[in-house]
Chains A and B, each alone.
Chain A
Amino acid sequence: MRDTTSILPLSVEGLTFEAGGKRLLDGVGFALARGGVTALIGPNGSGKSLTLRMCHGLMRPSAGHVGWAVADGIVGGLKRHAMVFQKPVMLRRSARANILHALAAIGLSRSDRNARCVAALERFGMTDLATRPARLMSGGEQQRLAIARAWAMAPEVLFLDEPTSQLDPGATRQVEEMLLALKAEGVTLVMASHDMGQVRRLADRVLFLNRGGLVEDAPTSAFFETPASAEARAFVAGDLVW
C-alpha cells in the first residue's frame, strides 16, 4: 500500500537569503494548500527562483523556514515534490532512459520504474519519442519530457521555474495543456512566470514578489483587476518597477 499522507499544507515563514552582503530574499512567507496553480511573478531578481529552490530544498535559506506537513515533504522515503527547470536538464540518454533514471534515483523497484515510465510516456502522448536521444529533441519536446519525468515520480507538489520562457507559442501551448491536465489530476502546481497571459490562463492565485519581498498574495482575477499596491499596479500596467 502506498502511504497517502499529504505533505501539504506547506508553510513558508520569513524566508530570507543573503549572498555577497546583499539581501536577495527578505522575509517571504505564505501558506500553500492542496490543489490549484499558484504563480510567482515579479521582475527579474525579485526572488521567484530563489523561493522555488528553497521550497524544493535545493538551497538553504539564511533565515526562515520551509515547513511541510511531513518533514522535508518526504513520505515513506519518497520525496513528494518535484521541480522542472527553465532550461530542461536532459541526460545524454534516450527519453525513456531519462525517466527511468529519475525513477531509479528515487529508489523505485525495476518493475515499478518500467510501469511508471510507460504510463508517463503514454499519458502525455510521447511514446513515439521514447527511444530518441533526449538532447536531440526540440526545446518543446524536452520540456514536455521534463514534465512527464516529474509526473512519473508522482509528486503531490510540482515546482516549475519559468517552464515556457524559452519556448515558441506552439510548444508553450502544449506545455500549458500538460500543466492543466496535472492540475485536473489534483497535482498542486507552483510556477514562476514572466508571461502574464499565461498567469491569467493557468493560475488561481498570484504571489507578487518585488526586490526580494512578497508584496501581494491574491486570487489571480483580483490581482489583475484591482492590484492593491502601487508596485503591483505598475507591474501589471507593464511599467518598470523600482
Chain B
Amino acid sequence: MDVTQALSAAFGLVFGGDHAFYAIVGLSLTVTLSAVVLAALIGLPAGALLALARFPGRGAVIVLVNGLMGLPPVVAGLIVFLVLSRSGPLGSLGLLFTPAAMVVAQTLLVLPIVIAITRQLIEDLHGEYREHLASLGLTGIRAIPTLLWDGRFALATAILAGFGRASAEVGAVLIVGGNIAGYTRTMTTAIALETSKGDLPLALGLGIVLIALTLGINAVTYAASRVGARFAG
C-alpha cells in the first residue's frame, strides 16, 4: 500500500465512525486529561507554596523540579512500573497495566512542568503585589488565592504545556499500560505498534488526530494569552 492510499484510508478512519479507532482516541484523552487535572490540583498550590516559602534547601528543590521538567517519559514509566509491579511497594493495588497506572505515570510527567512554571509566575507576581497584600493582612499562604487567581491566564499556559507533553509521550504509557488492545492502547502506543506492523492507515489516522490536538492546544494557549492581555493587562 503506498502512502497516498494509506492517507485516504487514514482520513476514512478519522471521519468514518470506526468504533475501535474512536475508543483509542477516547482512552488517550481520558488518561491525559485525568493526569493534567491531577497535576494541576497538586501542582498549582505546591508551586505557589514553593514560590512563597523560605526554607533551607529551597534552591535545591527548585533546581530539582526544573530538572524534572525534562524527565524522559520512559524513565517516568520505569519508576511507576517499579512502584506498581507485583513486588513493588504499591504492588498489592494491582494497578499495573491499567489506565490508572497510565494516569499516575503521566501525572508524574506533567507535575514538574506545572510546579516549575507556577513557582516562577507566582514568585514574580508576589514581588509586585507583596506590599499591597501585606497591607491588607494577606501574608504567607493567605496571599496564595489572590496570586493564583491573578496569574490565571499565564497559569493556563502552564497547564496546556503539560497537556501537550502528556498527550504526545509514548514511553511512559507503553511501559505501565502495556499497550493492551481495547484496554490500555493509546494513540501514541498504537502508532508505534501499527507502524511496525505495517498498518499505515491506522497509524496515520491517529497521527492526524494527534497533530490536530497539538494545533488545538496551541490555539487555546494563544487565545488564553490574548484574553489575558485584554482583561488583565
Contacts and interface: CB of A to CB of B under 8 A. Distances in A.
Interface residues of B, number: 19
Majority SS at the chain A contact face:
mixed
Interface string A95-121: 000000110011000000000000000
Nearest to B154: A92
A85 B132 CA distance: 8
Contacts of A91: 129, 146, 150
A79 interface: yes
A56 B137 CA distance: 11
B138 A105 contact: yes
Q: Which residue, B131, B134, B135, B150, has most C-beta atoms of chain A within 10 A?
A: B135
Contact of A93 (B132, B136, B137, B150): B150
B132 A133 contact: no
Nearest to A90: B233
B233 A134 contact: yes
A82 interface: yes
Main SS of the interface on chain B? helix
B18 interface: no
B131 A85 contact: yes
Given A79-B137, A102-B136, A89 B233 contact: no
Given A58-B131, A85-B131, A133 B233 contact: yes
A92 B229 CA distance: 10
A53 B137 CA distance: 14
* Chain A interface size, under 10 / 10 to 19 / 20 to 34 / 35 or more: 20 to 34
B136 A135 contact: no
Interface string B105-147: 0000000000000000000000011011111111000000010
Contacts of B132: 85, 89
A106 B134 contact: no
B22 to A, nearest CB: 40
Contacts of A93: 150, 232
B193 to A, nearest CB: 46
B147 to A, nearest CB: 10
Interface string B218-233: 0000000000101111
A93 B125 CA distance: 14
B231 A133 contact: yes
Nearest to B151: A92
A64 to B, nearest CB: 20
A53 B134 CA distance: 11
A152 to B, nearest CB: 12
A106 B233 contact: no
Interface string A40-84: 000000000000010010100000000000000000000100110
B231 A105 contact: no
Nearest to B125: A92
Nearest to B143: A105
Nearest to A78: B137
Given A56-B135, A83-B131, A133-B230, 15 more contacts: A83-B135, A89-B128, A89-B131, A89-B132, A91-B146, A92-B151, A92-B228, A92-B232, A101-B146, A102-B136, A105-B146, A106-B136, A106-B137, A133-B233, A134-B233
Closest 9 pairs (CB-CB, A-B): A135-B233, A92-B232, A89-B132, A105-B136, A92-B150, A136-B233, A83-B135, A133-B233, A105-B138
9 contacts: A79-B137, A85-B132, A89-B132, A90-B233, A102-B136, A106-B136, A133-B231, A133-B232, A134-B233
